[in-house]
Amino acid sequence: MNTPPDVNSELNFVRNIMRDAIGVMKLFPEGFYKTNSNRPEIETSLVMFTPSVKKILADNKIQAWLKQVMESFPKGFQPVFIQSSNIIAQVLDSFSGDSLPTLMELSFRDEKAFMLLNSLMQLRSERKDSGDKQEGFELALQYELYRRQVAAGSPYGQLLTTLLGRDALLWLRAASKDGYGKMQPHEFSRSGWIDIWTIKNQIDIEKEFLEIPPQYDHLSKIVVALSWTLAALASFIPPDIFLGEALPTITSLRDGRLTVTKGQYTVGAFHPESMLKLVQILAEGLVNPLLSAADLMWVAVSLAHLHEVKTSVTRTAILNEGRFNIFLSHRGLDAKLVLSESVRQLHAEHGVFLDCLTLPHGVINRSFVFGSLAKSDKVLIIETENFYHSDWCRKEAWFADALASIGAAKVERINLDSAKERIAIEGPLSRRKPQDYALNYPVTGRVLRDIDDWTREPNMNSLKASGYPIHFLLELENVCKGGTREEDKGWIEATAGTILQTLKNVIQQCPEGDPFDVWSAALQLCFAVFGIGAYARSKVEVRQSIDEMNAALKKIIAADLHKHAMFKENGQHYLALIAAAAVLSLTGFTLNNNILPLVQKTLHSVARLQDGLLLADARNPGPKRDFQLQFIVKLINNNIGSVGIVQNADAPVHQQQVDGFPLEILPCVTLYPGMKDPFTVSA
């Protein structure tokens, strides 16, 4: 299909802007972003009692400093920055009008907005009764609600707030002399960069692309390309420029409890050199009709490398990325079985990437494949009969060549027989470099300390306070608190029995999930057992994971999945699956090896633990598959990215949707005839 001439001209126009940006980035001296810019101290009153940078800029000292710093930037920086943001604003304007959803409408669509609105009303009521001044909290709530209103009324809301900052849409949709919004460098924020690596964020961005009519994909490509161009430009300059990062932020909102922090709580920073290469590749991909906006997005994510995360909390940033020696680009129809048999002969630590044997950890499929290709030293393009009949294979080949053009990978085109030989010769010498998640905070101890903490309810404390009997939870609690013998097979058997019996009792005692605290407390205890000998990054990450697990459990109950025949038959195993999935996501998909048999025993046949991923069997249509897909979607939609499915190549489920969730996003293993069945392994 030929691209209309006007579309080609628009894409080429934007590519030229990106090339201008590349030229500007090359003018920055090495290490310029580390320059100490000596920003004058911002008064606390200007930060805690204003939601906008405008009041900060009213300070003459800040204005003079900002002007001086911007004058030190290479010529052309500010014009290309503003022009790029202005084009994004024009695209937004072409899709949306001026109307925004009301707060009531927003609260029905956005659960967090509902919580924010309730907190705001409660805060105003308390302030009215007590006369206390809590302007900082109130303004933070108001502004966060307004941000969500604007994002809900705009296309690409998740994408733009992730790449350009939480206030990006406020600037881009603001009135302007020329009729369109724009952003200045000091209005930018890196506040969302760290969330690029959370599966919930990836899913939300992917769904935004799917909501745009296909005929406007070129506009989506422009938004992606220019948003990453702005992020790349921002990665070259001193971070003190981003005044919005000093504003108050809501860092915790759960069960009516609110925490507002001065400044952004978690900020990641990209390597400028990686961002320059990223824009170079995106500029060429922009005009390639083979590539979609989603392709460009995840190609860019695969090229963006973090060099630091500044915070007391880090979400899911990978500071030291894993690498492969060889990436096998192939057509599954022609080569999957042969290649999988060859790779299975290699030692366990080999560095050969084959998608069905190396599984996606906390990422959607498209991001997983592009990311693995970008992190491979060599790409073997296996040219079989049907290779170039596949758009996906052609995309892999394009990306491999693009990486080769900037010296980031070696690319060879070979046939299938040669590929087998290369695997046999080079595979034994290869070594996979694992990802380093920088985990050193013990999981189990934190859960046990929080299980009776009134600020962490629902938990055992809330059960005790309500007078609800908890005797059927005590044996499992004693397992957590007692001396563990996870290397003892007898301990594994006994503990698996205790977990399953406890969960079975929970379902019998509270079949409707009410009180919710009973189910939640039981899962937290399971979480603690599965987390023995495993590590997270911080206590806050452990708490966030518990919150995500509780949120997923609530959604499962609200959807009446606990009433389904499949749950009634295997409810204790499905509850164990929730806890195991949450722990795996928290711990970088790596549990204590001695605990792995315990996890699998508690899961029984509802899922198979393989390479840190919990796989459900989605090969056979019917009530079980329908239930499991709904169950897994609830977990992933609550940022638990350690679950996926196994499907057959001749009957894929990826083209279906579950509750509006496109299954093509779901982490997946596709089996071709003759390939090993992971579910034939005995428990």
Provide the Cα torsion 169, 171, 174, 180; round to 10°.
-90
Structure confidence by residue, pLDDT tens digits, 300-359 = 999 999 887 776 554 455 556 789 999 999 999 999 999 999 999 999 899 999 988 888
User: Residue 25 is encoded by which pair of tokens?
Assistant: 């980035």
More confident residue, 411 or 358: 411
Of the pLDDT bands very low, low, confident and very high (cuts 50, 70, 90), residue 46 is low
Q: How far apart are CA 68 and CA 72, in angstroms?
A: 7
User: How much is the average pLDDT of 174-180?
Assistant: 74
More confident residue, 162 or 663: 162
Of the pLDDT bands very low, low, confident and very high (cuts 50, 70, 90), residue 38 is confident
Q: How far apart are CA 71 and CA 78, in angstroms?
A: 10
How does the average pLDDT of the chain come out, rounded?
88
Res. 445: pLDDT tops 90: yes
Residue 433 bridge partners (DSSP): 323
Least-confidence region, from 185-189, 252-256, 389-393, 563-567: 252-256
Question: What's the pTM?
Answer: 0.90
Of the pLDDT bands very low, low, confident and very high (cuts 50, 70, 90), residue 682 is very low
pLDDT score at 522? 97
Least-confidence region, from 191-205, 325-339, 474-488: 474-488
Res. 49: pLDDT tops 60: no
Res. 33: pLDDT tops 70: yes
pLDDT score at 1? 36
pLDDT score at 683? 39
Res. 253: pLDDT tops 70: no
Neighbouring residues of 195: CB distance < 8 A, sequence distance ≥ 6: 162, 201, 315
Of the pLDDT bands very low, low, confident and very high (cuts 50, 70, 90), residue 73 is very high
194, 175 contact by CB (below 8 A): no
297, 311 contact by CB (below 8 A): no
Q: Are strands 306-311 and 266-270 parallel, antiparallel or unpaired?
A: antiparallel
Res. 275: pLDDT tops 80: yes
C-alpha angle 247-109-217 in degrees, rounded to nearest 5: 85
593, 622 contact by CB (below 8 A): no
DSSP output for 161-225 = HHHH-TTHHHHHTS--TTSS----GGG---TTGGGGGSHHHHHHHHHHHHHS-GGGHHHHHHHHH
Q: How far apart are CA 163 and CA 234, in angstroms?
A: 10
Superfamily of domain 324-429: Toll/interleukin-1 receptor homology (TIR) domain (3.40.50.10140)
Phi-psi region of 622 (alpha: psi -120 to 50; beta: other; left: phi over 0): left
More confident residue, 94 or 582: 582
Q: How far apart are CA 22 and CA 25, in angstroms?
A: 5
More confident residue, 214 or 101: 214
pLDDT score at 209? 93
Res. 552: pLDDT tops 80: yes
Provide the Cα torsion 546, 552, 555, 557; round to 10°.
-80
Structure confidence by residue, pLDDT tens digits, 359-402 = 888 888 889 999 999 999 999 999 999 999 999 999 999 999 99
Q: How far apart are CA 632 and CA 555, in angstroms?
A: 11
Least-confidence region, from 7-11, 250-254, 404-408, 476-480: 250-254
User: Residue 278 is encoded by which pair of tokens?
Assistant: 């990223």
Distances (CA, A) of 563 to 70, 407, 568, 573: 61, 56, 7, 15
More confident residue, 287 or 101: 287
Distances (CA, A) of 555 to 636, 648, 667: 11, 29, 20
The residues spanned by each domain of the chain are: 5-96+154-311, 324-429, 441-680
User: How much is the average pLDDT of 50-55?
Assistant: 72
Structure confidence by residue, pLDDT tens digits, 109-137 = 777 788 888 877 877 777 666 555 556 67
Q: How far apart are CA 326 and CA 424, in angstroms?
A: 12
Q: How far apart are CA 413 and CA 123, in angstroms?
A: 64
Res. 97: pLDDT tops 70: no
Of the pLDDT bands very low, low, confident and very high (cuts 50, 70, 90), residue 618 is very high
148, 113 contact by CB (below 8 A): yes
More confident residue, 23 or 669: 23
Strands in 598-642 per DSSP E: 608-610, 613-617
Q: How far apart are CA 449 and CA 277, in angstroms?
A: 46
pLDDT score at 518? 96
Please state the length of the chain.
683
Least-confidence region, from 15-24, 119-128, 241-250, 533-542: 119-128
Report the run of H or E that residue 491 belongs to, with start and end: helix 489-509
Distances (CA, A) of 443 to 361, 523, 524, 545, 592: 19, 14, 11, 10, 11
User: Residue 576 is encoded by which pair of tokens?
Assistant: 């164990």
Structure confidence by residue, pLDDT tens digits, 644-672 = 999 988 888 877 888 888 888 888 888 88
Would you tell me the crossing angle of helices 623-636 and 539-558 to the nearest 10 degrees?
140
pLDDT score at 249? 72
Report the run of H or E that residue 496 belongs to, with start and end: helix 489-509
More confident residue, 569 or 675: 569
396, 369 contact by CB (below 8 A): yes
Expressed in percent and rounded to 5, the helix, strand and coil fractions of the chain are 60, 10, 30
Res. 583: pLDDT tops 50: yes
Burial track 68-90 (b if 16+ CB lie within 10 A, e otherwise): ebeeebeeebbebbeebbbbbbb
Structure confidence by residue, pLDDT tens digits, 202-236 = 999 999 998 899 999 999 999 999 999 999 999 99
Highest averaged pLDDT of the listed ranges 155-164, 251-260, 453-462:
155-164
Neighbouring residues of 390: CB distance < 8 A, sequence distance ≥ 6: 331
3-state SS, residue 410: strand
pLDDT score at 86? 94
